Structures are given as structure tokens and as C-alpha cells.
């Protein structure tokens, strides 16, 4: 907020000394509150406001659109994270993405040119089954993109609870735990009973019959009998990674 | 099927010898296929067909109706199980139910005058939380009414998984396992991963917010990642006990 | 549990005699409680814990993935059951599956090299309509894979109840009854009123309009007015067969 | 339609002869198309249009309101049917309803002073369980109010299918069959497979857990595998009786 | 029922005279109650029981399967109705269906070789919009297949209520009215207020956004404020036509 | 926006002349953008921003709370509208509300001390059935509170469409039409086809069985086949009246 | 209404003078109330009744059907708006649509040959995100087709609320505001708190996971805490534009 | 984990020296893995495992049960938090709860006898409307119970967005933000766009009509267009406070 005060004080000083006419003064006062103009400005401000560099959500974008946005951000000197980039989409633009890395399981594209202060504490990403991997990897890649070390604990579903218990030590060393599960979505409850760290639960659309595209897992997680579990939207691995980074950086 | 063949052969013999006129013959043939007459006969037959003595579902019945049915069955010399008998209802008829036992947690009433062949193998009834007790007890009392020993494992919810593991031995000794859970309904998945016996899962309506009166638990159980888990209707403790008895008596 | 006690006692003996140093002793004690290491160990243990050989769920797997897992299990000397194997998938790997049998209706693949103790009592698999056959066959093939004789009663929907009654004798001879039905899912109620054996109901996604992909059948089965009916997830033929085997082997 | 033509021709004749001025002519032409005026006229017309005397839906009405409407209709010389009249409501106005009959199970009130041409063919009203009786009786009383003989077949749920088969003869003698069922709502499918008459299915809100206030039964009936079954709203016994009368009078 | 009595009497006579040995007698008695053997027998009986010739539901059948069943029925000398026959399916077998008629809008195939007693009274089929035509035509073709004259009133949606009123006369001449509507499903309520005949409402899956594949129309029809309206499953034109025939033939 | 510019210019002038120190200047600049302080200020601004005087939503408030807020607004010299005031609540505070008027059907309380510029064009409020009256009256009273003449057309449900047509003239004279309907919610479609004015549809929770507390009506209205129909939340009569006033004052 | 009176008076005059025989007179009177015959007549009348020229809903129409209807309307001398015209569909008929304009984002086709009285006041169309553009553009193009100036405010989602605030001035200048948003559908609430004009909210099917094809946005809008917000069906941009025109022309 | 190693090493030492016989050794080894015995032990361990002192969920408990548990925890010397304690329940036991504080809005009871290390950074609790206060206060009281300073920002719903913006400074000073909202649940999206801290969204069951007891708000929050928002179950203020404490203490 200080920044605004400083800006306003400067503007008022220039106004009082006559360096700034009334019209310009009013305009600059406005600029302290509202963001004007084109999209770039807006994004600039969002980064300041919420601390997050821009992300490209690739799901509904053409290869061309992704490429164009990618280049624009790269040119600004920022890092790039593009999620939901289908392998075919990537294949189509692969040649023009020098230095970018494609993560096939996560279907994510990353490019880093600007160093981020790395975090020392880690985020654990736990999955119930192998089918949950794409969502879990999206979360993990997002965490790593923002500079967080990630511990992956895979295929630790509740029907073989010993697999999870065997890694309880690693789990407890993480500062934030992301749990990704489809079907009955029971894993976050078990994990939530084992650790004393924030647990971010991500339901996946993996399942059959009455899983209803992830509703069963979503409800299971919302109703978790373990305290300290918060829930993301179905398949929202990026959101979980984004939030884990925020928490881990506190 | 033999019984019917024998009956038909006898009828045909009597017909051929002229002992049975045509009209009576046709009627008796019919009787070999369809059950006629009043309700009592029907019930008689149901017992023969499905092996289960009659049960009084008390939920929507008045104290008077329960008492009347109770007496009718007792007079026939049968055992009686009445479920969903509210404490107030019981209080109103308590004095006239000599020898009947009321189970306040299960809200069930039992009366045994006829010996049932006891089963030696036991049924385990596991609950996730104390609020699930009424449904679990209804299941347990039903099992016991039909002559099955019951092992109760209470308050073994997945958020404190060690409590369940500590009793894995007892669990594995049972021949059938009933798991009763509300909220996210995750317990049957964990139990199903620990035992090699049939698991009957009963969702309860216990929960808050998005548990939607047991839907979350029901979906969780239907989508269990553990094989060998079958699901009953929400709060249907009686049904679970009834089925457990059938399986345990095989 | 004895096995663990024995293992621990042996470890302790070796420790006391000095044959086993402290570090190894602690490690081996751990091993009595938690399963460590790679997936193979885990699966091994699951078989021990729950009595079920490994199954390949083919739905989301490529032909190559199925083939690879198939060979791995075969090499171990185990039997193989792969479900949800699309005919095209099978066609692509058919040549390399010597000795495996493909069940086109069930879309299942089986391979047996290890004798299982056969069960003498049978499982009945009843279907309401011909469209329910894939799910019913998945259940039947699963039962047979685990060594259970299967009686198939097809197309016995409740709108032509005489077809079912005509086979009531066969139905009653089975030790477990699996009922597979879509649309209104009424068949388990009728079957449940005819037999005194456990009934496993499987709703199918067959239906039109307000069947909502099997929800109507699922709700119908959960609300069955017949006692002793338990329900599986929509289209979960494998789960029903798996549970039927568990019950039939008791 | 003839009536309108006649009216218009008369009006035009009177207009041509100058007996009717332009303004009145236009007004009377309008009257041939649109119904004007107060509520009584409207109701009058509805009876002509749809053949049904007026019915009082008592659910949300006070005793006083029911009494007032009752008297108004009686004064007009018409018969009265009031549905959903709570016993307490009835008790409050009982003394002032000379000649009216109260049907406690159906919670309906009837008063007949005008002879209706009786129908000779009957309507069968079949119920799955005793809890469905209020809805079934509402249907039956409605049928009888409109002059249809009713055959009641009670407690013929599909879990004891022999009870229904035993009365198949009576069922087939009816010209229209109303089937009332809660829980899984399977009965109409079975009945629809036994008769060649129109079947009107009424789901009831009777049930527990996942019956969701009649949704399970409603979906079961909509998805009936038997052809020729049409469905009413949940608990709409009056609607079924009303429709049955329309069909039976054809 | 007489037919069965006659059959049984004949069998008994032959048994008494010694013409029929005991084994055959028992078998023939059985045959009077239960349908044995192959599908053809079954269908035979269904026709007797429910009055309806066999229908081929083409939705999930291959061209080959439809052709095969078609020929089987034709060979028996019966009429054939096949519904949900996709134009491509028809094109593939067109050459081998001599004398069969394809109805492209209804996607139905009919073949008549046996005269049905025609009905004189007609069925009206009303549609709300042109998109509802396939379902409405399926209903109309079904009615005509069973020998009922059909009056088609198209595109009479409630947003242009005058179009419906203009044809109220025709509507009132029909003995049964089928109303087919998607979107808000309001048309049956309006029609139900205009006629005194049974109204069969068919919701269609036509609609956008919150129509949810016909749920909005289905709920609208179930909650119709007009009495005497019964509802079919979404898009179930055949069912409506089938029921209309039953009612019209009373 | 001018007001803000003027305020800012004044502040800047005072700052330049030294009348206003920097701190106060910054504070007053802030005040031009953000509303500070207590609730009263906030409301003040809302009225300026959205043109609506304050309304008391009485549903969850005690009689005391309503009275207190009522007095506070009255003291400020403003008019008061309180909705969802239960008759018992009103009875409890009636004596202290001099000059306020209670509308029992709408369950609304109004008090006017400040003249509003009346609008000459009217709003029509149409209801399908008498049970919809509370919601319709809430809409009507809201319209009148804001100064709009209201034409009430009651009990014009689609099952008696002539009643609506008979008043089509009045309907067309209104500038905005509010249509209130429960059950199938079909009335807005019919009205939308008769007028060329904006139609605001309000579903009510009136209905039975599958009306699901207004969902059926809500879906019906959202899927209206008539263009120009917008929908409010279930039972939201106030919202409809509020919006109608906004439109009517344009 | 005058038009009808005039028509009737003319007819009556001709009848009185004998110029028009009775039969023709009756027919012409009918024509004043009911629309007969072909579709063209019907549309003619609808335009008179509801003030809206004909619109082609292209979603389920073939290129050929669209072209045919397009030509028919053009020949009549009317303007044409076709919505939901897929680019491929347009490409197929592009050459034959002289003078028509295709709006690729809105997927709409417009043709104007008849001058409409333009409106001076504008409609604002606000979108939450770029993915909502197709629906928003459909609304905007519809508004423009009917002669309304449109102010587009894009990508003003609530997570970057300053973008919206920065354009609050423009927003307040519009006479009607259409707000188009997917995902959580929160934008109309914010807009509704900023303006004192009617707000038409359009939920879009844009979203992931638990957005359920627009249900989340729809519910969000129906429950808006801002007064004066009415809701359209999911993705119904045309409907919003149509209603905005109606309101803006008042 | 070290603690366990130490415990095991001690046990083994005692065993080797013969101080501990085999039976006791095995028992103590077990105790290192599984928690045995009574409830108190279990809770003890849960605190160690997950860092949270015990909480009494009062919703379904009697005054007596709450009092008993309260005393048991107090006797152990621990702090007590009881949620969902109805005012009447509190009134009944008030006299026996020396030193406990009742928070009437939050309906929570707290008792602190043991000092917790206070946290310096604060948690902001933002509410959309006054009706959301009970849930928000439950969250706030929970935060304070665990030693976190709380900043309350009330009644900052999105329809008056300036109220929120005016307090953006305070909001940004918090380390964790809890946002509590009913109705459309839009507030977390706006807050998530203003801060760069973790946002915990709590939907409340406050709302009318289509809010469906909090489902609308829940879906709105899950679909938030702002990144970094995680969601709790409906009305779960305690869960949000518990998680906020975990995050704030990192």
C-alpha cells in the first residue's frame, strides 16, 4: 500500500509545484487505483497483487495461440508455464520452443529464464493410483516451476494402506502435502490423519460407473473426517500446485 | 423342485383313479405353482423360500401396531425381530413384551423362543465413528438374532488408521465383515485391502454439509478401489446383518 | 498374526545371540509391520492379505501396456485375468498371447497355468436383457477364472417373469447369485424373494432417457424391497465375480 | 366447434338485420373465442372442456377454506371430492359436512348428490407394500368417486412375486391397472408383463436412504422394461385415479 | 385363462385315457405355466399375455442382427416393427427387405403381412417444435403399425398458443392424445386443459443448456397442473404409441 | 462519475492553496474511491450507485432486529420495505410501527414518508395458481413501493389457457410482465408468446413430488421456448419487483 | 389490438353489404384470431404479436436447410439473423449468401435490407473471460441486428476486479447490461452492485471439473446477492440480446 | 520417527540384558507401531501425529455428554474447544463450566489453561453477509483458540465491492485468508485476485431457492477463476480455522 501512498504523494507534489496540470493529476490519481489500458498492464499488476507470473491454460487454445502467447511472455523476459498442452499440440510447435521443456505425463510446458528464489522445504505429492498421474504431475510440475522441491509418493491408495504407511516418514518431512485421488477419494482422510501439515486434496475424474466424473471423489474429500484438509476442483492439479507454492513460501 | 413333482404325481394318480374330480385336480395343479390365500400362508412360504423368519420394520408403525404384530408372531411360536423401534414407542409397550429384549442403541427389539442352530464363525462389525453406532448396532443385533457371534470394532475411522491396524488380527478372524461409515465412507476401502473375506459396506446418513444425508458415503463405497466390497442402502444396518447371516451360514 | 509373532521371535532370538546387529534388527522389525520397496513386493503381499491374484484392468491401457503386464505375470508363473480388453486391443496383441483365451462378450482375457482348487458349488449369473450380457459375462468369466462353476440364466427380465420362474430350480441350486440388470434394475428384488442365498446386484449403464447411465438401476437395487441384496458399482461385473468367488469359497 | 359456428352465425344474422349494433357484434364475436368473466364461468367451461367436476386440493388449505369451497360446490348441486384432507382438518369441520364421507387412509372427503353414469368395467389398484396404502387409496377413492368399480390388490411387492401371480386373474379382468409402489418401484414392470391393459404407475415417497423421497421409484417406473406403462408424479394418487376414469370411460 | 384350462383339461384327458404317459403329462402341465426353451416360444406367450406382436429395438443392434430377426419374424407370418433403425443401417440391408417400409423421420421400419383389426377412433400426436419430430413420428408410426388412424398436429408449441387453439377441434376428436415436447415440456399441460381424453406426455431430449437432455421437459410434464396427464420416459415415442394403441382399442 | 471528479478537484484546490494538509488530502482522495466506516455510509453509497433505497430482508431476523432497523431508516427520513415478515413477527411489533402498512399475503411491511416520482406505465403480475400468491404479491408490493402501478392477473395457469387469453389485452398494456408460477412453470412461455415486452419469470416452490421445491419450475422457465424471458431465483418475488421497477423507469 | 378491430369491422361491413358471403366471413373472422395454414403466415403473426422478426436457429440445421430458410425470408424483404451457424456450414453456403455478413466468433449470420429504427441508448456486454466470447458475441450481434449500439467490455473477471472498476464509467452509461460468465458465474453480482440498470446474466458452459457444463455458473447467478439480476439459460447469448433489445426499446 | 527408534532400541536393550522377557518385549514393540487400548491413548497419539489438541463436536451431543468430555479433558490439563454448542445446551451446563468462555455467535465454548505459543502473523476472516457470521465466527474462534490473531472483515459481499476494496490493505497484511460466503459464493474469487496468500473458502448454507443449502456457493468456490483458493465443506468454519492455524504456524 505504501507504494500507492508514495505515488500519490509524488503526484500531489508535482501538482502543487505546478509541474503537473490538473488533468494529468487527476489521471495519475486514477492510475493509482484502477488499471487502465491493455492486457499487458493488467497482467503486470496481477503479478504484483497476487505474486504469480502468468500461466497459459492450454485446454481450449490452438497450437498457434499457445505459441503466440508463449513468445510474448518470453520476450518480456518472464518464465512460462503452459498447462493442458496436448501432445499433438506440442508436436506441432515443438520446433519453435527453444529451451522449453515438455512434461508428457503432466501435459505441461515450462520455460525458465529468470531465476526464482528456491524454497528449501518440500511439497509432497501423493497419488492413489497410476491413473491419477496426469493430475498429480500437473501439480508437481507447477510446484517445481515455482521453485519448490517435490517428493512424489505414487500409487499409495487406501486399499493397500501399508504402502502409504511405509512412506509416512517422507510424508511428514514435507511442509505441504497434495493428495490426488479419484474413485472414492479416501486418501486425503488417511493422509490427514498421519501428518500435521496442510493437506490439499485434488479429486480426479478417474473412476467408473457411479464415480460420475469425479463427483464421488470430490464429495469424499469435502466430507473428510480428518481436519486440515482443503479441496480443489476436480482434476485441478495446477491449482493445487499453485496453492502449495503459496503456502510453502510463507 | 422334487416336492412339486411329487405333489403333481400324487394329484395325477388320484385323478386317474377317479379319487379326484377334474375341478379339484385343476385347483391342486394350480396350487403347485401359485400360492393362494391369505397373508399368513404367503409369509409361511417366504420363510421356506428365503430362509428368513419375519421381521417387523417399526419405523412407520404405531406402538399398538408393533405390539399386535409382535404378539401374532409370538403366538405362532416364532422368534421376533423388530427394528427402528423408537425408545418412546418401546416405553409405551414395554410392560406387555415379557421376555423381549430392547437394544437402545440399535433401537431394536428381539424375542427368542425357538432355538436357531448357532454358527461358529463370526461376523465383524466395524464403525468409522461413534455417530455410526445406531446403524452398526442394528447390523450387529440382527446378526446375533440369527445366531451369529459378532466382533465389534468401534471408532476405527481412516483418519486414525492405526486404530484399525491394531485390530487387523481380529478383523481377519471374522468370516464376513460389515463396515459402517458416514461422511466420506472411506473405511470399507481400507478394510477391503486388509482382509480376504466378503465386505458389506453400509453408508450412514451421518455427516454435514456436502455429505447430503449419506450420498457422499454411498458414492465413496460404490467407487471403492478395493475389490470384494458390496454396498447396502444408506443406514440399512438390518439389511447388512441379514446378508451377513446368509453368507456366514453357507 | 502368528506369522508376525514368529518372525519377530526369530529376529529377537538372532538379536539376543548377537547373530543380528541392532541396525538389521530394527529393519527386520519394521518389515514385520510395513511393506517396503518396489511394487512387486506390494502385490505379493496383497495376494497374501486379500487372497486375490493380480488382475489387469484394461480400460485405459494400451495394447502394449497390457501385453507387458501380461508377460510379467505369466513369467512369475501366475494366472492372468485382464478385463475391459477391447476387441481391437486384443487383435493387436493376439499373436503374442499363446495359450491365453479371449472372451469377446465379456471383453476379458484369461490365462491359466497354475491349478486353483476348484469349488464345487456354483454361482448363478442372471441377466435381465441381452444388452446386459457384457457385464454379466465379465462377472461369469471372473467367477470361472477363480475356479467357480457358473450357471447362466439369460434374458429373464421382470416384464416376462415366467421366464425367471421357470428356472427358479436352477437358481436355488446356486450358492451365490449375481443379478445383472439395467433400465429399472428390478430383477434383484424378484430374485431376492425367490432364493435364500446371498444376492449380488450389478446395475448396468444400459437404458434410455431417464436411466441416466445406470443411476435408475443403481437406485432401484439399493432400494430393493428384498432383504439380502448387496449392490456393486455400475457395470462392475468383475467386482461381482470377485466377491462371489470370495463368498463361494467360504 | 359447431357450437361456435352456430353462435357466430346467429350474431352475424342479428348484425345484418341491424338487430345488433357494431360494438355489440364485435364483443359477441370475441366471446366466441375467449372466455371472459369470473372464476365460476371459467370452471363451468373447464368441466365442459375436460369433463371433470371440480376437485378441492386440501394440502395447503385451512379447514375453513375447505369448508367454504365445499359448501359453494354443494350449493351448486355438484358432487365434491376433496383430497389431502388431514384427519385434524376433518375433525374440525366434521359437524358441518352432513352427508359427506371421510376416507381416513386416503385422507379424502367425498360428497355425492348427483348421479354419475356408472361404468361397468373396473379399475385395479395394486400396491407393493402396506406403506403405499394412502396413495393407493387416494387413487381408488378417486376412481370410485367418478363411478368406477375398483379391485384392490394389496401388498403384492415383487419380493414375493407369487402373491401377485396368485391374483393375476383378477388383474386381467380390470380394464385399467393402477400400480402404486415406493422403494425401487419395480412392480409396474412385472404387472406390465402380465396384462394387456393400460398400466398407470404411481411412485410413492415411501422408502429409506437412497430412495430420495420417491426419486428411485420414479426413475424405476420411467425406465420400465415393460411396454405400455405411463408414469404419474410422486404420490399423485388422485391424478392416477382421474386418468384411469378417463380411460375406463372411453 | 380359459385357454390354459382347456389345455390342461385336454392333457388330463389324454393322461387318463393312457394316451399320454406321466412324464409327458408333467411336461405339458409345466408348459401351461412356464415358457421353456427358445426365444420364439417366449415371444409367442408374451403376445398372448400382453397382446403385442414382437418389436425389434434397433438402437444397439447391427444391420445384420436386425435383418436376421426381421426374417425370423417374417417367416413366422407376423408383422414387424423395428424402431431406432439408423438410415445407414437401413441402407445396408434395404435390398433384402422386400415389402418393408422405412420411415426416415421416425427411423422406423415396418412390414405388414397379417391384417390387424383396424380401430376407427384416432390418436392425435401433437409436437411442440420441429425438432421433436423424430420422437413424435416414432409414436405415430407405432400407432399406425397397430392399426390406429393418426392425426398429426405439428409445431404447436406454447409460445405460439394460437396455433394449438386453431386445431382444438381436431384435437378433441381424437380418443387418445400423445403430446411430444422438449425444452420446458409445457405443451401437455395446455393440451390437458383443452381435452377430456387421456393425454400421454413424451419428453424429448431436445433442448439446450439447462434442459439437461430432457430432464427439464420430464419434470415439467410430471408436475403438469392439468389432471389426466401421464408421462413416458425421455424420447420414448414407441412406448407412447404402444400405450395409445392399448387405450384406443379398449 | 462527475461527482467524483468534482470532489477530487475541490480537494486538490484546497491542497494547492494549503487549506488542506497532505494527510487529509490523501484521506479525502481515498474517500472518493472507497467507502470507509460504518454501515450507514455504505448504504448511502449503494443507493447512489444502484438507485435503490435500503430493504430489510426479514426471513432470518427477529422482531426486535426488524424493528431496530426499521426505526433507523425511518429516522433518516427514508422509505422502508421489509420482506418476509412473518405474521407473528408483525404482530409482535405492530404497535410500534406507526404508519407502516402490513401486506399479509406478501408478508411485507412498507412505510413511505418520502415521495417517489411515480411511473405512469404499469407492471403486470401474472400468477399460475392461487398458491403462488405470496410470491406474486411480494413482487407486486415491491413494484408499488417503488412507485409502479400494478395490474394483477391471477390464477391464469396454462391448464385453463382461456383465462389468460381473455386478459391478453390488459397484459399487452403493461410495460413489463412478471410471471409467477410453480409446478411445471409453463406460464412464462405462453405469456412470452403473447406480448412484446420484457418477461420476468419467477419459479415458486409450490408443487408436489417431483417438483423438488421449485426446481421443475425453474428448469421449465430457463428452457422457455419463448424468447425474451429472463428468470429469477425460486420464490424471489422481491427480486422480480425490483428488476421490473428498474426496467419500467428506463 | 386495433388492427384486429379494423380487420373485423371491414369484414363485417363487406358482409353487411353482401360483398362477402357467410362462409368467407366466418373464415376471415377466424383469421383474425387464429393463424392458419403454412409457416409463413404463422411467422407473420408472431412478429405482430411479439415484435420480433424471424430468427433461424442453426444448431441442428443442415447448410441446405439454413440456405433455404434464409432465401425465403430474404425474398419476403425481411432482415435475417441466423445463430449457431458453424464455420463449416457457413463455408458451404457462403457463395450464395450475397450481402450477408458472417460473425465468426458469434457463429452468427446477419443480413439487413430493411431499415430498423435505431436506438440511441446502448447495451453493454461484459465478459468474464476470453472463453466466454462466443456467447457474448452472440448476444452483441443480436443486439446490433435489432439496432442497438453495443459497448463490449471483455475479460473483466472478478479475480481481477480492477479491470472492471476501470470501466465502471462506460458500464454506467449503458441502458441495459448483459453479463456473460462461466466457471463460478460471479461477475453479475459485482456488476449488479455497480450499476442501477437491468442486468441480464448469461451463464456459459465454460469451466472444468465441478462446473458441470455451466450449472455452477447458473446457480451462482440465480443466487446473486445483487438485486436486479435476471438469468438466461446456459449459453443463451441470443436470448439475452433479444431481451436487451426489448428493454432498450421501451 | 526418532522417538520410535529410541523406544525400540531401549526395549531391545532391556530384552538383551534379560530385563524384559520375550512376551513383554513383543508387546512393547507392538506399542511402537499400533495404539492399543482406550480412547484416551488414541487421542494422545493423534495429538502427537497431527499436532492438534482434542476438539468436541457438539452438534449431536447432549449437554451431559459435552460436560462429561469437557471435564475429562480439563482434568488432563488440556485446553478445550467445543463447537456447535447450542445456546440452550450451554445454558443447561453454564454453571459447571468455571472459566470456560461461550461465544454465542460462533456457538463455541473455549477453555484455556495451558499456554500455547502465540503466532505473530494474523489470519483474516472475511464474510460476505451478516448471515454468514456464525460460520465465520466458528472459524475465527478456532483460530484464536489455537493462538492466532484474527482480523475480521464483515459484510464485504461482492455486490458492494467497494467495501472490500476499502479494506484491501488489512487483507493483504494477513498471512492466511478465510473467506466465508453463502448464496453465489463469489467472494473468494474476488479476494483471491487481491492477495498473494493462501485463501480458504468456506461455503455456507445461507441462501434461498436455488442455493440448495450451500451447493451453489460450494460450486462457485470450487470453480473460482482465481488461483490459490481451496475449499472446505459447507458451513465448516472449524475446519477452515484449523487449517489456517496449520498454515499460519508453518
Q: How many CB atoms lie within 10 A of CB F120?
A: 8
Spell out which residues of chain G touch residue E208, defining contact as CB-CB under 8 Å.
59, 233-236
Q: Which residue has the higher pLDDT, H38 or A229?
A: A229
Task: Tell me how far apart the alpha carbons of residues H53 and H49 are, in angstroms, rounded to a whole number.
Answer: 11
Q: What is the mean pLDDT of residues G29-42?
A: 47
Which residue in F has a C-alpha nearest to residue A33's C-alpha? F33
Cβ separation G196–F227 shorter than 8 A: no
* Test the C interface: residue of E26, E54, E185, E234 with most C CBs within 10 Å: E234
Q: Which residue has the higher pLDDT, A221 or C27?
A: A221
The count of C-alpha atoms lying within 13 angstroms of the C-alpha of F35, restricted to the half-sphere facing its C-beta, is 19
- Beta-carbon separation of A227 and H175 below 8 A: no
- Cell digits of residue A61: 487454445
> Which residues of chain A lie closer than 8 angstroms to F12, CB-CB?
12, 15, 22, 25-26
pLDDT band at G53; cut points 50, 70, 90: low
Give chain F as a DSSP string. -HHHHHHHHHHHHHHHTTSS-HHHHHHHHHHHHS--SSHHHHHHHHHHHH----EEE-TT--HHHHHHHHHHHHHTT--EEEES--HHHHHHHGGG-TT-EEETTTTEEEE--SPPPPPSS-EEEEESSGGGHHHHHHHHHHHHHTT--EEEE-S--GGGHHHHHTTHHHHHH-SEEEEEE-TT--HHHHHHTT-SS-EEEEE-S---GGGGGGHHHHHHHHT-SSTTEEEPPTT-HHHHHHHHHHHHT-
Please, do chains F and B touch (3+ CB pairs < 8 Å)? no
- Which of A43-52, D175-184, F68-77 is predicted with the least confidence, judged by mean pLDDT? A43-52
- Among H194, H234, H243, the residue with its CB nearest the CB of A49 is H194
Residue G36 has pLDDT above 50, yes or no: no
Question: Which of D155, D165, D208 is opposite residue B236, by nearest beta carbon?
Answer: D208
Chains near D (3 or more Cβ pairs under 8 Å): B, C, E, F, G
Q: Which residues of C touch D (CB under 8 A)?
A: 128-129, 157-161, 165, 183-186, 189-190, 192-194, 207-212, 215-217, 219-227
pLDDT of residue E206: 83
Show residues of chain G in contact with A203, CB under 8 Å.
Answer: 209
CB A222 to CB H230 under 8 A?
no
Query: Mean pLDDT, chain F, as a whole number?
Result: 84
Average pLDDT over residues H109-122: 87
> How far apart, in whole angstroms, are the C-alpha atoms of residue F175 and residue H53?
63
Q: Give tens-digit pLDDT for D122-136.
A: 999 999 888 899 999
Contacts of E131 in chain G (CB under 8 A): 60
Sketch out chain C's domains with CATH numbers: 1-32 (no CATH), 35-115 (no CATH), 123-248 (3.40.50.1970)
User: Which residues in chain B are contacts of C218 at CB distance < 8 A?
Assistant: 222
What is the C-alpha to C-alpha distance for residues A63 and A61, in angstroms, rounded to an integer? 7
By C-alpha distance, the chain F residue nearest G48 is F196
Confidence bin at A42 (pLDDT 50/70/90): very low
Q: In which residue are the cell numbers 401351461 written?
A: E32
The number of C-beta contacts closer than 8 angstroms across C and H is 25
Tell me the chain F residues in contact with residue H160 when contact means C-beta distances shorter than 8 Å: 35, 42, 45-46
Burial of residue A75 (CB within 10 Å: 0-12, 13-18, 19+) is: exposed
Asked whether the beta carbons of residue E1 and residue D242 sit closer than 8 angstroms, the reply is: no
DSSP D159: G
Rounded to a whole number of angstroms, the distance from the CA of H140 to the nearest CA of chain A is: 15
Closest residue of H to G184, CA-based? H220
**Radius of gyration of chain G from its Cα atoms, rounded to whole angstroms:** 22
pLDDT band (50, 70, 90) for residue H3: low
Q: What is the DSSP letter of B96?
A: G
Task: Band the pLDDT of C207: cuts 50, 70, 90.
Answer: confident
Q: What's the burial of E99, exposed, middle or buried (CB within 10 Å: 0-12/13-18/19+)?
A: exposed
Q: Which residues of F touch H210 (CB under 8 A)?
A: 214-215, 218, 233-234
Nearest CA in chain C to A160: C46
A125 bridge partner residues: A152, A178
CA distances from C162 to A36, B34, B54, B56, C157 (A): 77, 12, 26, 30, 9
pLDDT over 90 at H41, yes or no: no
**Measured between alpha carbons, how far is A30 from B33 in angstroms, rounded to an integer?**
90
Reduce the DSSP state of residue A82 to 3 states and report it. strand
Residue in F with minimal Cα distance to H216: F233
**Residue keyed to cell 439487413:** G112
> Looking at residue D45, what is its pLDDT?
45
Q: Give the bridge partners for C103, in sequence order.
A: C108
Q: Rounded to a whole number, what is the distance in Å from the CA of D240 to chain F's nearest CA?
A: 14
pLDDT at res. H4: 64
pLDDT (average), residues G66-90: 89
Per-residue pLDDT, averaged over D24-30, amounts to 79
Mutate to test the interface with B, among A129, A165, A186 (most CBs of B within 10 A): A186
Given this model, what pLDDT does residue A2 score?
Answer: 47
Q: Give per-residue pLDDT as tens, H133-187.
A: 999 999 999 999 999 999 999 888 888 777 787 777 788 899 999 999 998 899 9
CB neighbour class for G229 (10 Å; exposed up to 12, middle 13-18, buried from 19): buried
Cell 427480486 locates to: F239
Q: Over 70: is that where the pLDDT of B111 sits?
A: yes
Of G35, G46, G236, the CB nearest to E209: G236
pLDDT tens digit string along C128-180? Answer: 888 899 999 999 999 999 999 999 998 888 887 777 877 877 888 999 999 99
List the single residue in F8, F22, F33 with the smallest CB-CB distance to A9. Answer: F22
Report d(CA C241, CA C108) in Å as an integer: 13
- When CB atoms are compared, the residue of G190, G216, G222 closest to H158 is G190
CA–CA min distance B45, chain D (Å): 9
Give contacts of D166 with chain B, Cβ < 8 Å: 34-37
**CA dist H7 → C26, H1, H2, H13, H41 (Å):** 11, 10, 8, 10, 17
Grid cell in block for residue F6 = 468534482
Pairing of strands F80-83, F108-111: antiparallel
Question: How would you write the pLDDT of chain F (250 residues) with one tens digit per residue?
Answer: 445 677 788 888 888 888 888 888 887 776 666 433 222 233 444 454 455 566 888 887 888 888 988 888 888 788 899 999 999 999 999 998 888 999 999 999 999 888 877 889 999 999 988 889 999 999 999 999 999 999 999 888 888 777 787 787 788 899 999 999 998 899 999 998 888 899 999 999 988 888 888 999 999 999 998 888 999 999 999 999 999 999 999 8
Residue of C nearest to B42 (CA): C193
In angstroms, rounded to a whole number, what is the distance separating the alpha carbons of residues G178 and G152? Answer: 10
Say if strands A150-153 and A123-127 run parallel, antiparallel, or are unpaired: parallel
pLDDT value of position E49: 47
Element holding E45 (H helix, E strand): helix E39-50
Closest in H131, H163, H210 to F60, CB measured: H131
Mean pLDDT computed over B1-28: 80
A243, three cell numbers: 496453492
Find the helix packing angle between B2-16 and E22-33, rounded to 10°.
110
Residue closest to F107 by CA, chosen among F143, F57, F52, F70: F57
User: Region G23-41: what's the mean pLDDT?
Assistant: 58
| Residue for grid cell 418477461 | F199
Smallest CA–CA distance, residue F232 to chain H, in Å, is 10
Give the residue with greater pLDDT, E205 vs C49: E205
Nearest CA in chain C to B192: C50
How far is residue H222's CA from residue A233's CA, in Å, rounded to a whole number?
5
pLDDT tens, H63-99?
Answer: 888 898 888 888 878 889 999 999 999 999 999 888 8
Contact B175, B247 (CB under 8 A): yes
Q: Reduce the DSSP state of residue E177 to 3 states and report it.
A: strand
Residue among E131, E166, E209 whose CB faces G233 most closely: E209
Of D1-10, D236-245, E110-119, H97-106, least confident by mean pLDDT is D1-10
- The pLDDT tens digits for E80-89 are 999 999 999 9
> Across chain B, how many H-helices and E-strands are there?
11, 9
Q: Do E26 and B5 touch (CB under 8 A)?
A: yes
Cα–Cα dist A61/A75, whole Å: 20
Amino acid at each position: 500500500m505504501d507504494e500507492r501512498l508514495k505515488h500519490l504523494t509524488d503526484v500531489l507534489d508535482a501538482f502543487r509545484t505546478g509541474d503537473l496540470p490538473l488533468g494529468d493529476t487527476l489521471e495519475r490519481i486514477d492510475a493509482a487505483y484502477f488499471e487502465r489500458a491493455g492486457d499487458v498492464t493488467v497482467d503486470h499488476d496481477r503479478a504484483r497483487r497476487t505474486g504469480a507470473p502468468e500461466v497459459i491454460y492450454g485446454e481450449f487454445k490452438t497450437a498457434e495461440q499457445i505459441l503466440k502467447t508463449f513468445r510474448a511472455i518470453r520476450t518480456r523476459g518472464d518464465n512460462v508455464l503452459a498447462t493442458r498442452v496436448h501432445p499433438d499440440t506440442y508436436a506441432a510447435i515443438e520446433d519453435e520452443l527453444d529451451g522449453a521443456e515438455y512434461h508428457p505425463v503432466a501435459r505441461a510446458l515450462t520455460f525458465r529464464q529468470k531465476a526464482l528464489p528456491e524454497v528449501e522445504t518440500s511439497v509432497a505429492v501423493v497419488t492413489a493410483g497410476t491413473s491419477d498421474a496426469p493430475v498429480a504431475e500437473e501439480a508437481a510440475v507447477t510446484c517445481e516451476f515455482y521453485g519448490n522441491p517435490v517428493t512424489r509418493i505414487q500409487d499409495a491408495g487406501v486399499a493397500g494402506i501399508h504402502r502409504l504407511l511405509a512412506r509416512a516418514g517422507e510424508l511428514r518431512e514435507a511442509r505441504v502435502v497434495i493428495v490426488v485421488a479419484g474413485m472414492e477419494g479416501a486418501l486425503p482422510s488417511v493422509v490427514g490423519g498421519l501428518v500435521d501439515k496442510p493437506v490439499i486434496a485434488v479429486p480426479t475424474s478417474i473412476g467408473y460407473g457411479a464415480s460420475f466424473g469425479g463427483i464421488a471423489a470430490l464429495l469424499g474429500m469435502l466430507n473428510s473426517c480428518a481436519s486440515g484438509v482443503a479441496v480443489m476442483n476436480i482434476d485441478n492439479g495446477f491449482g493445487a500446485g499453485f496453492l502449495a507454492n503459496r503456502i510453502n513460501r510463507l
